[in-house]
Amino acid sequence: MPALRVLPLPGSGPEDVVLASDGRVLTGIGDGAILAVDPTDGTVEQIAHTGGRPLGLHAGADGTLLICDSERGLLRLDKPHGQIEVLVDEVDGQPLAFASNVVAADDGTIYFSASTRRYSLDNYMGDFFEHSGTGRLLRRTPDGQVETLLDGLQFANGVVLAPDGSCVLVAETAAYRVTRYRLTGEQAGTTDELVQNLPGFPDNMGLGSDGLIWVTLVSPRNPLLDKLLPLPGVLRKAVWAIPAGLQPKPARTAWVQAFDFTGALVHDLQRAGDEYAMVTGVAERDGTLYLGSLTEPAIAVTEVPA
What are 150-207's pLDDT values in tens digits? 999 999 999 999 999 999 999 999 999 999 999 999 999 999 999 999 999 999 999 9
Please tell me the distance from the alpha carbon of residue 183 to that of residue 257, in angstroms, as a whole number: 25
Q: pLDDT band at 121, cuts 50/70/90?
A: confident
% helix, strand, coil for the chain, step of 5: 10, 45, 45
Q: Which of 118-122, 179-183, 253-257, 293-297 has the least mean pLDDT?
A: 118-122
pLDDT at 264 over 80: yes
Please tell me the distance from the alpha carbon of residue 269 to that of residue 248, in angstroms, as a whole number: 24
Mean per-residue pLDDT over the chain, rounded: 92
Q: What percent of the chain has pLDDT over 90?
A: 83
What are 206-231's pLDDT values in tens digits? 999 999 999 999 999 877 666 666 65
b/e sequence 135-169, b meaning 16+ C-beta within 10 Å: bbbbbbeeeeebeebbeebbbbbbbbbbeeeebbb
What are 123-132's pLDDT values in tens digits? 666 666 666 7
pLDDT at 16 over 70: yes
77-102-116 Cα angle (round to 5): 115
pLDDT at 120 over 80: no
Q: List domains and CATH numbers for the chain.
A: 5-303 (2.120.10.30)
| pLDDT score, position 125 | 63
Please tell me the distance from the alpha carbon of residue 134 to that of residue 149, in angstroms, as a whole number: 13
Q: Which of 104-108, 223-227, 257-261, 278-282 has the least mean pLDDT?
A: 223-227
Q: pLDDT band at 24, cuts 50/70/90?
A: very high
What are 55-109's pLDDT values in tens digits? 999 999 999 999 999 999 999 999 999 999 999 999 999 999 999 999 999 999 9
Q: pLDDT band at 232, cuts 50/70/90?
A: low
**One-letter amino acid of 150:** L
pLDDT at 268 over 70: yes
Q: What's the alpha-carbon Rg for the chain, to the nearest Å?
A: 18
Contact yes or no for 181/153 (Cβ under 8 A)? no
